[in-house]
Structures are given as structure tokens and as C-alpha cells.
Structure 1
Amino acid sequence: MDRIFETFDYNNRNMTRQDSNQSLDSLFDSGARNLAATVTTTTITPILSRASFSTSPIERSLDLELLSKRLTQLAVILVGLPASGKSTIARQLCLYLNDNQVTSNIYNAGDIRREIKQEFNNANFFDPSNTTAKLERERFATIAATRLIEDLKSTKVNVGFLDATNTTRDRRERMYNLLKNEGINNILILDVQCQLQALHMFNILGKAHNNDYHDKDYTTAIADFKRRTSHYFKVYDPVTKDELLSLAPEVRAYVKCVNAGAEWDLQLLSPKFGLQEVYKLIKQFVDGYFEKEGQRYLEAASAFYKV
């Protein structure tokens, strides 16, 4: 059952077709190596070598106690197109940090939108040419960022995730400046990408259960979400090396996840990164991600396409 896979070219904002001699089933079953091999990406820096951090239960207990006293507040800015998996990755990392005594929370701009508007926002609301809606979307992102800042400054949380698409450079710079002006000088960018059309479509089909579509039928929900995604893709600005360099020193680290953890890129941007404990936990999360989460996701996608 040979298939043709569509691969997103994030740098050119186009979609190119790539022939594959593998069936979809064998692609998923072969795991991360073959999955990553079907995608062409530009890695800003080499992926860090894997490392294990082994401690005894007593050492771990002492480490966690000291960790809670040493932590510096960190803002994580998510970047990713709709149905890229960014909210899922953020939730998983947030839970992992909380399980390791790093108080974390997610601040979702979409939740703010639903809280304030309390009405169905179809794909037209996300059209970049819809000036009124664009101003509203910016307002919702600002409210989410403001709540994140308040909780960081009051030490209610150690790590706050700004969960929004943040797919334009203008939006990202506005969020950076908002954080910086409020004294939040430790920022990490979490860039989540889904570059295989098969996986992207699998994610979109799951959006029928999105809170935006709780009272809509399946066909309406999927069609509308596809249009929403196309609007975001029109104006998508990938995070570049030049952009990262221009944001130092407040942006301390960059983490990129591609295709459900088939590929990760981690980069420390500040030589005096004051969040080594948190970064160590993030790296542990990355190192174990495919085995704990990514493989299960690919199995679910494979099972879906086998039906």
C-alpha cells in the first residue's frame, strides 16, 4: 500500500510532495528513525547527546527540596501552527515539571477567547485579513501573557507556558517585550512542528472534540478547522537563528520538537543560564519522550490509518 506523503516546508511556507517507498503502516511501525528520515529540516544546532541522571531516593528528595528554593521563574513561549501538537506537548511537559516539584501552569489564549467571547468563532475569525478579529486575538494573547506574568512575579508558579500559536515574528516580539518590560528575563521558546501530512491530518481529525466545536457536527468541525489552519499558514514565520540571536539574553533557551518527538533540537542561548535545574528536567523529559509518549501517539495514528 504505497502512499505519497505531503511534507510541510516550514522555511518556504509551501507544501512539496515527497514520494515514499514505505507504506504508511511500516512508516509508523518503524519508529522515530524512519519517521524522521522522511522529513527535511534545518537544525539550528546539533541535538544534544543523550545523558542519564541517576540518583538515589534520598538524593532525589534532597535535590527536590533544594530545587524549590533555588528556582528562578521561567516563561515558556510556545510556537506552532494549529494541530502541530504544541498544546499536547506543553501539557505533558507541564505535568512532568509539576511531578518533579517545579510548580508550572499553562496560560492558553484560546481559553481566554472562549471565556470572553463565549460564542462560536469560525475560521473567518482567524483570517489574517480580518483586522478586527486580529486585534481581538492579540488582546486575548496579551491577557494570557499578563496572567502568566502575575503568577510568575507573585511566585505562584515557577514555570508558566504561554500557549498560543505565536506564529508571526511580530507577535513573538510583542510577547518578548511584554515579558521583558515586566521584569521577566528568563524565557524559553518551545517550537512544536508537525511536518508530515499524515500526522497533521490525524491531529486535525481529533479537533472535532475541541471546545470550539462542542455543539457542532463532525464534518462541520473538521472543515472549519482545516480553513483555520490554512489562514495561519499564510502568515507563518518560522523561528530563525537570526531571530534567536536578536533576543538574547532574555531568551535563554530554544527547544524544537518535530513530529511527535521523532526529532528534538535543544539549544542553550545564554552561557549564564540561571535555570540549570529546570533545563536538566526538560532535557530528561526530551530524552525519554519518544519512549513514553511519542511511540504511543504513533501507534494510535497507525491504528487509525489501518481501519
Structure 2
Amino acid sequence: MYFEANVAALFLDRFHFSYFSQIKQTIKFNVALALSCECICNLLLQHLQINKPYSNFNVNVFYWSTASRPQFTNCPTMIVMVGLPARGKTYISKKLTRYLNWIGVPTQVFNLGQYRREVLQTYKNYEFFRPDNEEAMKIRKSVSDKCTSQVLDATNTTRERRGVIINFAKEKGYKVFFIESVCDDPEIIEANTMQVKLSSPDYENYDKEEALVDFLKRIDCYKMSYVPLDEEKDRHLSFIKIFNVGSRYLVNRVQDHIQSRIVYYLMNIHVTPRSIYLSRHGESELNLLGRIGGDTGLSSQGQKYAKALAEFIRGQSIKDLKVWTSHMKRTIQTAEALGVPYEQWKALNEIDAGVCEEMTYEEIQATHPEEFALRDQDKYRYRYPKGESYEDLVHRLEPVIMELERQENVLVICHQAVMRCLLAYFLDKSEDDLPYLKCPLHTVLKLTPLAYGCKVESFYLNIQAVNTHRDRPTNVNVARKPEEALQTVPEHL
């Protein structure tokens, strides 16, 4: 998939839309957009109209926040992608969106190419993208018209067109941050073109060689009007320029915390082929008893798994593999069997269950029934008394994610809650899904990052272990019966 326009954008923050009327209905709506900017303003306005259920209501807009959710910005931020086709804009947009969602900044990707295909059912050739093609410009205008009545009729690759976005942002009180991907390395461009662009729906009925020729001519069409960001002429703008997939960076006028985090993230990612292996520790003594947390060693089955894991890793013949563990006995004992150096991360320690440490679910229900119900109601944000929530754990794990993005092949031996958080990052899972991801004992997950996603392979090493996964029960009311609360508790000794 490619960007029709050479500028794409993300629009981030969380809004609360209140519709004041006789029933005073309140609706929470996440506005977070990443889109090619030929219709960025139109799409935003359309989004507001679609989510306005009663046309006679007045709309008040203000930021939605809770005490438990950190607020990274004091106003919405538009992140605008800039660059020629086959420069990795879609890759960067999707990866950045996934990261922002994971740290709690709701973000979504919109691609103008999809909107264009709805209007233009059949793609002919590169001539459509010539700036002097009047018929094509009418079609591109109709794409914008399809979004709303307001039209931004341009490819948005020039300084003037970027000015349209900046003016729109000023009107709405938004910040703007540009990310330009610059690439003049023929090998990188060819690899990106062959791997991603030729699989675009535009080239379904094309011969591979014909598709390549057409796409390269399409790039030439874009070059006719493309004006890169200039560190002198655009010095008043906030931006980062990424050269040749991270060989060099130019950062200008970073305005706030969220922009600095975006820059830091982009300077840590790379496209070198690699795999990340995730495994929980071997079965522990407390796992056998159905007790959460604690810091006990491995059971006899857990020790067998440690040996099986070592054999599995040797069989993979992984080049320059690094091994990471938590500071807890069960992960260290699992790593010891590998017979290789390993690095301990305190950030990889299991979620802190506070006053519930080393208790069974039955004991928690008996002594803290209200807390048990509250956790079932919102498992992601619920914080154990004197302990942590999954949301806390995600923020604790952010340095781990940054370092994983910098590394090549890594084996992470961790814990159930930690593995769920890491898996949710790579698979772009929601806050609701994250606490219920299945991460069974004695199973290795191999994650291989791809252009626009992540390939997951699961390896069960055939060493029996207890089940520690508890699904959300049907009844999460505080007044529920004990048997309803314990409905999904796995069996244990």
C-alpha cells in the first residue's frame, strides 16, 4: 500500500464530546488520525460530523482525562509525513501509531490511497499522478469531495500545500510536527518497492516488470512538484528528517514532551531483519499452588522446561542472540540452563500485586471481594492496593521496548503480565485485549517484524505445566456471589 499524496499525517489526542440537550447525553470519542493529507482537514471534519448523532446539538470540545491516565499534550498534535513514494512513510506511520497507542495516546492510520480507490475503481498507469493531468486532478478533487464539501485540491508535496495544513492547524489550535523520510539509496528504494509497493491493489493485474516500470515513473511524477523540508526556509516548523532509513537525522524545533518522545522513538527503530523470542519462565512452585506473584524457584516441570528451552534455542541457530531476564529467581533459573550470558532487567519483573502477593484467587475473593470485582471491571487500569496496574506496567516497560527496537535477535524470558504487555505492543492490541492475551507456560513465541506488521510463530515445547490464564468472568458486579467471581479460575493444587 502506498500514499497517493506525498504527505501523510497523524492526528493525536483524546477528546470528550459533550452534546448538551434535554437528555444531556455524553459521548466519549477518540479522535486520532493518521492520513495522507490531500484530505486531512476534510476527513477530520467529516469524522466530527459522523460522530455527531443529533444535528441540532451544540458541540463543546474539551480534553478528556482521568487521574490514572497521563496527559502527554496540552492540545492535539498533527504529525505530517513527508516524502516521495517508496521511502517508508507508511512503515513509519504504522509503527509510530502502534507505539503511541501502546503508551496511551489513541492514534489511528488513514491512507488516502484507500479513499482514491473507492472513487477510481480501476488504476490505469502512472499518468494519473502527473501534476498537469487535468482529468486526474478532477478525480482527486472528487476524492476530497467524498470526504466533505470542503476541498483541498493538491498533492501537498510543496511548501504551499504544507502551509494549508499549518493554517488549518492554527485555526483549530493544533500543533503540527513533520516527519520527512529522505532516501537516495537505490538499494533501499528498490527493496521497498519490490517488497511492498508492487503488492498494492493498483497492480493486481500487472506483470511484475510492468508494475515496476510504472511505479518508478509514478515516482518521477511526484518529483516534479516535491519540495523537501529546508532547515533554513522551514526553520520555524517542528520536524525530523530521517535520511536513508536512519543513517542520519535532522531534528528542528521540538516543542513539547510528546514530540520529544516521537523523535526518541524514531531514532531507535531500524529495519534490519531480526526475530524476538518471548518466553515465560519455567513453571514455578507458586504456579503449582495457584498463587500470584512471589519470587520462588522453578518446579520440577519448570526445570525440565529450562533444559528444553536451551535445546530449542540451540536448534534455531540464532546469530548473535541476546538473552534478557527479570531480577526474579524463576526467570534467572530458566536462563541459567542456556549456558550463555544473560542480562537482567528489573523493568521485566512481574506486575506487583501489592497486598495480594502470593495469594490465590480464592483467597483474594475471600479477603478482598470488592478489589477482586473492581479488577475484573477494568483489568488494564485497576491497580492492586500498594501494587501496580497493567497501565503502570506498560510505562515501566517502555525502556525495554526502546531497547528491543534497537536490538537485533533477542530472547526475553519474562512473566505472564510482562509478556502480555510486550506482545500487545508488537501485535497492536488494545487496552481491553491486553490483560487477557494468552501467554501459556512452556511455550515460545517467535516474533518477526515485517513491513507493516509482525509474524507470530508459536512453539510448545511439550513439557506439561499448569494453566495460569483466567478469563474475564461473566458477572463483574461487586455484589456477585463468590462462585461467580471464581468462575474462570484455573485448576491448581
Superposed counterparts of 1:238-253, under 5 Å: 238-245=228-235, 248=236, 251=237, 253=238
Letter of the 1:179 counterpart = A
Letter of the 1:288 counterpart = N
Q: Give, in angstroms, the shift of residue 137 of structure 1.
A: 3.2
Letter of the 1:227 counterpart = K
Superposed counterparts of 1:58-73, under 5 Å: 65-67=69-71, 71-73=74-76
Superposed counterparts of 1:20-99, under 5 Å: 65-67=69-71, 71-99=74-102
Q: Is the 8 A contact 1:81 1:165 kept in 2?
A: no
Q: Give, in angstroms, the shift of residue 67 of structure 1.
A: 2.3
Of 280, 287, 292, which residue of structure 1 is paired with 2:405?
292
Aligned to 1:258: 243
Segments of structure 1 that go 5 or more residues without pairing to the other structure are 1-61, 148-163, 302-307
Of 160, 171, 180, which residue of structure 2 is paired with 1:191?
180
Give the greater-gyration-radius structure (CA): 2
Segments of structure 2 that go 5 or more residues without pairing to the other structure are 1-65, 271-403, 410-449, 452-493
**Whose RCO is larger (CA < 8 A, sep 6+)?**
1
Q: Give, in angstroms, the shift of residue 243 of structure 1.
A: 3.8
In 2, the alpha carbon distance for the partners of 1:175 and 1:295 equals 37
Q: Does 1:237 align with 2:227?
A: yes
Aligned to 1:225: 215
Report SS of the residue matched to 1:65: coil
Letter of the 1:287 counterpart = M
Q: Give, in angstroms, the shift of residue 228 of structure 1.
A: 0.4
Of 159, 168, 174, which residue of structure 1 is paired with 2:164?
174
Aligned to 1:102: 105
**Identity of counterpart residues, as a percentage?**
26
Report SS of the residue matched to 2:234: helix
Matched residue count: 210
Aligned to 1:281: 261
Of 180, 192, 198, which residue of structure 2 is paired with 1:208?
198
Task: Give the helix-richer structure, 1 or 2.
Answer: 1
Q: TM-score, normalised by structure 1?
A: 0.59
Aligned to 1:115: 118
Letter of the 1:110 counterpart = G
Post-superposition CA distance 1:114-142 (Å, at most 9, x none) = 12222214201001221231344356468
Q: Give, in angstroms, the shift of residue 295 of structure 1.
A: 6.9
In 1, the alpha carbon distance for the partners of 2:260 and 2:67 equals 12
Report SS of the residue matched to 2:69: helix
Q: Tell me which moved more, 224-233 or 131-140.
A: 131-140
Judged with a 3 Å threshold, the aligned counterparts in structure 2 of structure 1 residues 64 and 98 are, in CA distance, closer, same or farther, namely farther
In 1, the alpha carbon distance for the partners of 2:406 and 2:142 equals 33
Q: Give, in angstroms, the shift of residue 64 of structure 1.
A: 7.2
In 2, the alpha carbon distance for the partners of 1:121 and 1:80 equals 23
Q: Is the 8 A contact 2:100 2:107 kept in 1?
A: yes
Letter of the 1:185 counterpart = Y
Judged with a 3 Å threshold, the aligned counterparts in structure 2 of structure 1 residues 93 and 230 are, in CA distance, closer, same or farther, namely same
Q: Does 1:130 align with 2:111?
A: no
Q: Is the 8 A contact 1:261 1:294 kept in 2?
A: no
